[in-house]
Structure 1
Amino acid sequence: MNLLEAAGDRPVFEHGARAVTGAQMLGLVRRIAAGLRAAAVGPGDGLAMMLGVTPEAFAATIAAYVVGARAVGVRPGLPDGQLRHVLHQDITAVVTDAATGPEHAPRTLTVSELLAASGEDGPLRLSGRPEDVARLVYTSGSTGTPKACAQTYAAMNAAWTARPEAWPPAIRELASRLRRYLVFGSLGSQVMMEYGVLTLAAGGTMVVADPPAFPDAITRYRATASVITVPRLYKLVAAQRTAPADLSSLRALMVSGSPLDASRLREALDVLGPVVFQGYGQTETGTISMATPRDVPPSVGFPPDVVDVEVRDADGRPVPPGVDGELYVRTPAQAIGYWAEPAETAEVFVDGWVRTRDLGHFDEDGRLYLTGRTRDVVIVNANLYYAGPIERVLAAAPDIAEAYVVGAPDEDTGEAVHAFVVPVADRIPDLGSLRALVGERLGEACVPATITILDEVPTAPNGKPDKRLLTTAIPRGRPASGRFS
């Protein structure tokens, strides 16, 4: 609320030709909050937010927090079965900007009817209780079934995003570049919303670009910043090499969703300039670390002082710098667990720490490096091999732009490695050489049983590479190569 009050007559949200000031946005929040209270929605009630990317959607999300409800962001395009599951997770009502809600919604409240209420006079009455869950944010499901991370009001208030005095150096540098930040997809996305709040705190404007066609959206909206996934970054770099667009307004691209190969990062910096920020975080924890364009690839920067990161071995003991292990993290705004998932909560949330299931190490200077995931593995002849190192060897080959590795059952070895590669434009990779390279660097057990050439990697709705779909596309009969597009 303080950010909107401080903004006053400054535009905070731009939707097409419409610019909404801080004062106007605060007025929307007041009216929607009054509408929610008139609908008997209050502390502890679950609100499924099925909204587009509009000023009213942003206001509705903030209003849900004002009345103390539990806001649940619903990703657009969710399959019907998953949508039913979400809407049966203690949901009181669905808030939508459509004329009607889904058939299986317990109750539907449209933004238009909520806005019909008169705004409350005087200071906003905040009803959220510290121990109540403020929001549920679903994980991407990149390594399993999506789970709902529960963040309390106390944790939300402890976050540093909206407090410039608490920004670590990397975030302070990023914030200075967020004059016009593109928003798209869903405001229920933790990443999209977190950078949005940071933009408002930095005095910038959230600018709607949906769908986010790059580089056109950057040029059309004179954007200074945007979130971008690794596949989209690769495509943008390739497009700039062949048909450069005017990206003179661009100051920051926040890479999110999956690690960025060091050689591809250097290429992006060479083509786009010093604009690439590589963020590392999880839905369970929020931001853990941030690498600026000046940081040493492939590190993800220095975790800020308010974030604790320990690298531990398989027995849970801390390891020294330079040694890989699993990352355990504590952040001020981390979730308290998974909603209605006690077994999963007990496995991941341990003694106040979050098990990231990510592998990495620190260098002697305190920079953090990611090297893989504990569950992104292939078990060959009862020995465990991580997909990350195999992907990095393949991606480092001069003819390969992207590489992805999955495992599949194998009659001879229990599981076998299967690779999918996206070639550099106009190049035809020598698949035999790729297999030999992997064997030379990592050993015969890591050599892919098949290598499939992709025109582009298939992505899940959240923009991440869809490894589950790749698994279904493994060629039968174990040929050395194939093609899938």
Structure 2
Amino acid sequence: MLRLLAGEAARRFGGRAAVVTGSASLSFADLDRFSDQVAAGLAHRGTRIGDVVVLALPDGPEFVICYLAAAKIGAVTAGIGVERLGLLTGLDPAIVITAPSVLPPLSGLDVVTLPIDRGRRSPHLYDPVRLTGLRRPEPPPPPFPPDPARPVVITFTSGRTGPPKGVVFGNRQLEAIRAHGAGLRWATGDARLVPHPLGQLGFATRLPVILQTGRTCHVLAEWTPDAVLRVLREHKIGVLQGTPHQLSRILDLREELPELSLILSSGAPATPALIRTLRTRYGVPVCNRYICTEAGLGLGTRPDDPDEDAEFSVGRPRGSVNVSIRDAEGRPLPIGDHGEVLLRSEAVMSGYVGRSTDHAVFAKDGFIRTGDRGYIDHTGRLHLVGRVTRKPA
């Protein structure tokens, strides 16, 4: 699916920037072309359908190129970045793609170190010399038959309540996310600054939406409030995305953002005071988003919802997303009663790495237990009130 979307995005959007890092820009046409060549390189090294390709890379064009390349040959991408190298344990990768000075010597693994500190022929266009050692200037292997169950990407839980777990998403889940986020429209989407590492859920599973909508993704080498403000202003980006902590740090700078038209808060519960302060400071709607990694899709308020929706709730279920509030025995609770929040859609994960099912997370009817505690009010809004306390097994 990603292979077809990348080709069509290259045809429709061509020289439009797909990934921008600093002053360097990678177009949709070059993203498709270079990922074809890296796919050929991966196949030449023996990477096959179902093999795991680990990306121990900093956020930037190489990450996106290699992720798309792996998908084009049916391999599974696990993006661990450069900060969570311990995630490599247990993945059993066919190949590890990294950058200089990121990983210690690894015995028994096929490791390709890309010279991403090279490539200075143009300060504005992406230089493929940074892919030396992996790119082959030839077509990739021919397409293979579609398979909705084929895994595509592994992303990881935050580790907030235990060791991080690898969460597997396949073609079926990515198609559901694409349909939810883009539907039938092919259009030039607004540019966005990516607030989270590319290996996390917010980018790794939304790449189909980005390709179909032609969205330019601005990527920071390191997230800082000053860097965010600089990119927003320089590129006149109208949407500010981030966690409540990130948004609070931006607020602390007390800078004006006249081009701003929308703020999206996600990744953790936001206080009513923060939502109100953001809306007052910048004079734009603020939306509250809610999701857990395993669910793939979640909830969110909309810009035209009443102000109190984002202040006190995370919105109403829409589209194909279903929400259920249940007691400790798994029984559905009536409106207003507090219990565990469960989510269900076609985007729910296939399973954890090494485990196809996990009854501690999956309910019998396909809902995912989020571990969050909440209730649904009489208008259908979901309110979060804390975390569920599990009894020892």
**Equivalent residues of 1:76, 1:185 under 8 A apart:** no
1:209 pairs with 2:211: no
Match runs of 1:416-431 below 5 Å = none
Distance in 2 (CA, whole Å) between partners of 1:135 and 1:164 is 20
Distance in 2 (CA, whole Å) between partners of 1:5 and 1:101 is 37
**Equivalent residues of 1:66, 1:126 under 8 A apart:** no
Aligned with 1:107 (options 104, 110, 118): 110
Alpha-carbon spacing, 1:193–1:251, altered in 2? closer, same or farther (3 Å) = farther
Distance in 1 (CA, whole Å) between partners of 2:315 and 2:299 is 6
Query: What is the one-letter code of the residue matched to 2:334?
Result: P
Aligned with 1:350 (options 334, 355, 363): 363
- Secondary structure at 1:71 match in 2: strand
**Equivalent residues of 1:68, 1:127 under 8 A apart:** no
Alpha-carbon spacing, 1:261–1:92, altered in 2? closer, same or farther (3 Å) = same
**Equivalent residues of 1:43, 1:129 under 8 A apart:** no
After TM superposition, where is structure 1 displaced by more than 6 Å over at least 4 residues in a row? none
Indicate the residue corresponding to 1:362 in structure 2: 376
Aligned with 1:21 (options 24, 27, 50): 27
Alpha-carbon spacing, 1:248–1:54, altered in 2? closer, same or farther (3 Å) = same
Alpha-carbon spacing, 1:198–1:155, altered in 2? closer, same or farther (3 Å) = closer
Query: What is the one-letter code of the residue matched to 1:260?
Result: A
Indicate the residue corresponding to 2:327 in structure 1: 313
- Secondary structure at 2:93 match in 1: coil
- Secondary structure at 1:32 match in 2: helix
Deviation at 1:310, TM superposition (A): 0.9
Deviation at 1:108, TM superposition (A): 0.8
1:254 pairs with 2:264: yes
1:46 pairs with 2:47: no
TM-score with structure 2 length normalisation? 0.82
Alpha-carbon spacing, 1:65–1:162, altered in 2? closer, same or farther (3 Å) = farther
Moved more, 314-323 or 141-150: 314-323
- Secondary structure at 2:183 match in 1: helix
Distance in 1 (CA, whole Å) between partners of 2:159 and 2:102 is 28
Distance in 1 (CA, whole Å) between partners of 2:41 and 2:134 is 6
Aligned with 1:60 (options 46, 59, 66): 66
Deviation at 1:141, TM superposition (A): 0.6
Distance in 2 (CA, whole Å) between partners of 1:256 and 1:163 is 16
- Secondary structure at 2:69 match in 1: helix
Indicate the residue corresponding to 1:270 in structure 2: 280
Deviation at 1:30, TM superposition (A): 0.8
Aligned with 2:79 (options 73, 83, 108): 73
Deviation at 1:361, TM superposition (A): 1.5
Indicate the residue corresponding to 2:18 in structure 1: 12
Alpha-carbon spacing, 1:72–1:120, altered in 2? closer, same or farther (3 Å) = same
Indicate the residue corresponding to 1:374 in structure 2: 388
Query: What is the one-letter code of the residue matched to 2:279?
Result: L
Greater relative contact order (Cα 8 A, min sep 6): structure 1 or 2? 2
Deviation at 1:306, TM superposition (A): 0.5
Deviation at 1:114, TM superposition (A): 5.2
**Equivalent residues of 2:49, 2:75 under 8 A apart:** yes
- Secondary structure at 1:284 match in 2: helix
- Secondary structure at 2:32 match in 1: helix
Match runs of 1:112-127 below 5 Å = 112-113=131-132, 115-120=134-139, 125-126=143-144
Query: What is the one-letter code of the residue matched to 2:137?
Result: S
Deviation at 1:98, TM superposition (A): 3.3
**Equivalent residues of 2:149, 2:171 under 8 A apart:** yes
- Secondary structure at 1:345 match in 2: coil
Distance in 1 (CA, whole Å) between partners of 2:89 and 2:162 is 20
- Secondary structure at 2:297 match in 1: strand
Indicate the residue corresponding to 2:98 in structure 1: 96
Alpha-carbon spacing, 1:267–1:184, altered in 2? closer, same or farther (3 Å) = closer
Distance in 1 (CA, whole Å) between partners of 2:180 and 2:58 is 23
Question: How many residues align structurally?
Answer: 361
Deviation at 1:341, TM superposition (A): 4.5
Query: What is the one-letter code of the residue matched to 2:293?
Result: T
Alpha-carbon spacing, 1:120–1:70, altered in 2? closer, same or farther (3 Å) = same
Distance in 1 (CA, whole Å) between partners of 2:174 and 2:135 is 29
Match runs of 1:435-450 below 5 Å = none
1:183 pairs with 2:185: no
Deviation at 1:124, TM superposition (A): 6.1
Query: What is the one-letter code of the residue matched to 1:63?
Result: A
Indicate the residue corresponding to 1:461 in structure 2: none
Query: What is the one-letter code of the residue matched to 1:32?
Result: V
Alpha-carbon spacing, 1:350–1:152, altered in 2? closer, same or farther (3 Å) = same
Structure richer in strand, relative to its length: 1
Gaps of 5+ in 1: 168-174, 378-485
Gaps of 5+ in 2: 1-5, 115-130
Distance in 2 (CA, whole Å) between partners of 1:132 and 1:196 is 17
- Secondary structure at 1:359 match in 2: strand
**Equivalent residues of 1:67, 1:128 under 8 A apart:** no
Alpha-carbon spacing, 1:185–1:322, altered in 2? closer, same or farther (3 Å) = closer
- Secondary structure at 1:30 match in 2: helix
**Equivalent residues of 1:311, 1:325 under 8 A apart:** yes
Deviation at 1:127, TM superposition (A): 6.5
TM-score with structure 1 length normalisation? 0.68
Distance in 2 (CA, whole Å) between partners of 1:279 and 1:166 is 23
- Secondary structure at 1:143 match in 2: coil
Query: What is the one-letter code of the residue matched to 1:15?
Result: T
Aligned with 2:182 (options 154, 159, 164): 164
Alpha-carbon spacing, 1:192–1:227, altered in 2? closer, same or farther (3 Å) = farther
1:143 pairs with 2:161: yes
Aligned with 1:289 (options 283, 290, 299): 299
**Equivalent residues of 1:136, 1:150 under 8 A apart:** yes
Alpha-carbon spacing, 1:49–1:205, altered in 2? closer, same or farther (3 Å) = same
Deviation at 1:287, TM superposition (A): 2.4
**Equivalent residues of 2:178, 2:209 under 8 A apart:** no
**Equivalent residues of 1:278, 1:291 under 8 A apart:** yes
Indicate the residue corresponding to 1:445 in structure 2: none
- Secondary structure at 1:118 match in 2: coil
Alpha-carbon spacing, 1:21–1:259, altered in 2? closer, same or farther (3 Å) = same
Indicate the residue corresponding to 2:123 in structure 1: none
Alpha-carbon spacing, 1:261–1:333, altered in 2? closer, same or farther (3 Å) = same
- Secondary structure at 1:144 match in 2: coil
The alignment's C-alpha RMSD in Å is 2.9
